[in-house]
């Protein structure tokens, strides 16, 4: 390690292999080694500054200071946001597109997605009860896909739901890797894009099956700041950017079920006023989801004794920030009560990004995530009974994205 300014620089040619090998703990290991909340390394042979904490979050999410363009590896970008999406826009173009998504997140719409999740959950539960057991991760993915399709106005043949769910799930599963898992996700993404593109064309052709005001219709008919319809390729990307992240919430649902199993005192407490929200927020803080988010400098600035010029690559370690002892007392403990004292600072708690929603780069679907999770926790605690047999419930932090090894097998499932 060398220090020429306020930022330690790691020795070695490149840290890409170490990142892939160590996963979520990559940053934490080096923050400890350097006794610093920031370090410089090389990733994919390019210089990168990796940081965590509130100060770093404010730095990266300062409006228009950085861009998300060229801030993610192409193999990750094409499975998640993809080219032309809202996340890769800047300035007024980003704010205009972001408002399209935020217009979908009304209180009524957020309540409706919870209702649809419950409907699909209760529809599927008798099948779970009639089998020898159900892997919750797999089952909830399809529940959420069916629910978000109904919410978005996407016509769906029930026989087609399993195939489409697997396509969207493969995008998320492949995003944190290279090799076969990533290639599999890329292949299935192409199939999902064709399907989404056909739907966009149907809406623009006047197909009455897609209700006006639903996400699919809003995206297909959206016009940019210059009054032009979105390019069909971009429109299908943005439709998938509603569907895929909702399916990804299944990971949080499974982590919530794991927390209920390992902290049984929470099962009763979530019925109390306020505790359900604390519990859901602690699930989102404690368990791994996105490991990092990146940005490329647009506006030159000085930080920690260094001049950051346009094009400099910054990475914010989300997992480390959500476990930062400067922000969270005893961060390795699962303690929902901590959110009773949280002041709501959007730069200290960032499972889905930092900053504000309406015009920044924080995830537009965060409140949808919370609504889905709260309904799922109620269903797990009051909507069904089940047993959790002996199984491997370990969470491997070297795998991105992480999940319980078994997917959380439930047996003796009985609807309440």
Residue ranges at the known binding site for heme: 363
269 three-class SS:
helix
Residue 183 corresponds to which tokens in the numbers above?
């290639």
CA-closest candidate to residue 288, choices 316, 319, 262: 319
Cα–Cα distance for residue pair 86/406, rounded to 1 Å = 35
The two beta strands, 66-67 and 384-387, are unpaired
Cα–Cα distance for residue pair 396/23, rounded to 1 Å = 9
Cite the annotated binding site by residue number. 363
CA-closest candidate to residue 70, choices 297, 343, 247, 405: 297
Tokens 């943005």 identify what position? 238
Neighbours of 139 (CB within 10 A): 23
Neighbours of 272 (CB within 10 A): 10
Tokens 């979530």 identify what position? 270
- Alpha helices (runs of H) in 303-356, residue ranges in sequence order: 318-321
DSSP label of 42: E
């Amino acid at each position: 390690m060398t220090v020429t300014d306020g930022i330690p620089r790691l020795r070695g040619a490149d840290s890409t292999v170490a990142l892939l090998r160590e996963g979520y703990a990559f940053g934490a290991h080096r923050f400890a080694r350097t006794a610093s909340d920031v370090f410089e390394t090389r990733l994919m042979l390019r210089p990168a500054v990796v940081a965590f904490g509130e100060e770093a979050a404010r730095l990266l999410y300062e409006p228009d200071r950085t861009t998300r363009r060229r801030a993610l590896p192409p193999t990750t970008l094409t499975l998640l946001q993809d080219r032309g999406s809202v996340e890769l826009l800047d300035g007024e173009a980003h704010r205009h597109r972001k408002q399209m998504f935020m217009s979908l997140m009304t209180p009524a719409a957020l309540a409706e997605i919870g209702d649809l999740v419950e409907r699909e959950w209760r529809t599927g539960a008798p099948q779970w009860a009639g089998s020898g057991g159900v892997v919750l991760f797999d089952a909830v993915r399809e529940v959420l896909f069916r629910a978000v399709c109904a919410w978005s106005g996407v016509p769906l043949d029930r026989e087609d739901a399993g195939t489409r769910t697997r396509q969207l799930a493969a995008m998320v599963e492949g995003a944190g890797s290279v090799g076969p898992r990533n290639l599999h996700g890329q292949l299935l993404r192409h199939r999902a894009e064709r399907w989404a593109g056909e739907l966009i064309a149907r809406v623009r052709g006047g197909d009455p099956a897609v209700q006006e005001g639903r996400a699919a219709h809003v995206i297909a008919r959206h016009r940019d700041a210059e009054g032009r319809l979105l390019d069909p390729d971009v429109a299908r990307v943005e439709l998938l950017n509603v569907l895929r992240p909702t399916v990804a919430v299944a990971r949080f649902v499974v982590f919530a079920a794991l927390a209920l199993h390992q902290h049984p005192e929470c099962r009763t407490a979530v019925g109390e006023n306020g505790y359900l929200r604390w519990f859901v927020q602690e699930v989102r803080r404690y368990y791994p989801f996105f490991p990092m988010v990146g940005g490329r400098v647009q506006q030159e600035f000085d930080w920690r004794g260094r001049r950051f010029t346009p094009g400099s690559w910054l990475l914010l370690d989300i997992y480390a920030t959500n476990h930062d002892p400067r922000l969270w007392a005893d961060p390795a403990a699962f303690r929902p009560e901590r959110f009773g004292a949280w002041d709501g600072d959007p730069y200290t708690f960032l499972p889905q990004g930092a900053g504000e929603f309406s015009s920044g780069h924080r995830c537009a679907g965060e409140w949808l995530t919370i609504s889905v999770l709260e309904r799922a926790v109620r269903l797990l605690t009051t909507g069904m009974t089940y047993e959790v047999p002996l199984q491997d419930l370990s969470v491997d932090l070297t795998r991105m994205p992480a999940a319980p090894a078994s997917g959380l097998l439930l047996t003796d499932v009985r609807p309440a």
